[in-house]
A = this chain, B = another copy of it.
Amino acid sequence: MSLILALDFGGTKLAAATVESSQREWLRHDHCLSPANADALSDIEIMRSLIDSVLDGRKPDAIGVSFGGPVDADTGIVRLSHHVPGWENIPLQLLLEEEYNAPVSVDNDANVAAIGEYQFGAGQGYETLFYITISTGVGGGWILNGKTWQGAGGMAGEIGHMVVDPGGPVCLCGNRGCVERFASGPYIAQNAKELLEKHPPHSQGGTRGDILRHLVGNDLNKITGQLVSVAASHGDELARAVLNKAAWALGVGIGNVANLMNPQRFVLGGGVTKAGDNFWAIVRKVAQETALPEVNFEVVRAVLGDDAPLWGAVALGLDILD
């Protein structure tokens, strides 16, 4: 029996866990929010203490790591973090190998979560799948014939910046109408806010925006993607329209990917996927309509939740030991 150490360097959260290689439950599990002024060194320092806590004096046989940003999976060198400064070109694999004297495998969080869902979650038995996380950003990870696919430069999976509406609003990436520009949590919030700013309270009668406005006590800066979902579930038509557009963008993106790569399954995780049955119905309907009739696929929920990257890290560790 081998001990696997799984690490998750998220944008806002750090987590570590241990598992015996034959088990499917955590031996120990600990996590911690990344402080607001975090940098790479402080993240590593915090992770070190989490590792100490979960190892509890034992030595790991293999270490799998999920990192929230682009990584060269061959060398385990981090390119950068989009959230935390100082991660440019940090040789994370080497650092961990030297400190813990065990083999280490590192990949970016979307790829690792894809492996997690493939090995232990909603992708079990599906050799070819695309995992999509719809959260602060929209990203994806490929499993092709049971192996991850990172692309020639490690950048594959960026469904978030697929353009689905060239006349749409401008995204942070510079293009108009990317999937992420409609479907990420922060953009859902921003789109709702902008619509509310255009429609003063009660201007249209009915429930266009009033429920959402009420939820934030009329302080539109407090709107979050989650609150837009809550408002929609209570019948707010403006909130529903914003979510429907998010679901539509995601559906077009999924249909386009189905035509292009023909995977068996799409596994969707991340906070935005909790937006309710109507959201899911639109995603599935639009995806089906966008794909050619001969292209078959399913769109299903991720099941590992926030632990998908950690379970994927376990799979990376197991892969080293094989």
Contact = CB atoms under 8 A, between A and B. Distances in A.
B262 A163 contact: no
Nearest to A294: B155
Interface string A152-190: 111111110111111100000111000000000000000
Contact of A261 (B156, B173, B175, B255): B156
A294 B70 contact: yes
Contacts of A294: 70, 79, 153, 155
A134 interface: no
Given A292-B173, A295-B153, A259 B161 contact: yes
A175 B290 contact: yes
Nearest to A140: B260
Interface in A81-104: none
Contacts of A165: 165-167
A53 to B, nearest CB: 35
Contact of A292 (B149, B155, B252, B259): B155
Interface residues of A, number: 45
B256 A153 contact: no
Contacts of A296: 152-153
A273 interface: no
Interface string A251-266: 0100111011111100
Contacts of A175: 289-290
B292 A260 contact: no
A155 B297 CA distance: 11
Interface string A287-309: 00110101111000000000000
Contacts of A205: none
A150 interface: yes
A153 B157 CA distance: 20
A261 B262 contact: no
A206 interface: no
Nearest to A79: B294
A44 interface: no
Given A166-B252, A256-B256, A262 B292 contact: no
A259 B155 contact: yes
Contact of A151 (B128, B155, B166): B128
Interface of A: 70, 79, 127-128, 140, 142, 144, 149-159, 161-167, 173-175, 252, 255-257, 259-264, 289-290, 292, 294-297
28 contacts: A79-B294, A140-B260, A142-B261, A151-B261, A151-B263, A152-B263, A152-B264, A152-B296, A152-B297, A153-B295, A155-B262, A155-B294, A156-B260, A156-B261, A157-B260, A158-B259, A158-B262, A158-B295, A159-B259, A161-B292, A162-B260, A163-B290, A164-B166, A165-B165, A165-B167, A256-B256, A257-B260, A261-B261
Given A155-B259, A260-B261, 14 more contacts: A128-B151, A144-B149, A150-B262, A156-B260, A156-B261, A158-B292, A159-B260, A161-B292, A162-B256, A163-B255, A167-B167, A173-B292, A174-B289, A261-B261
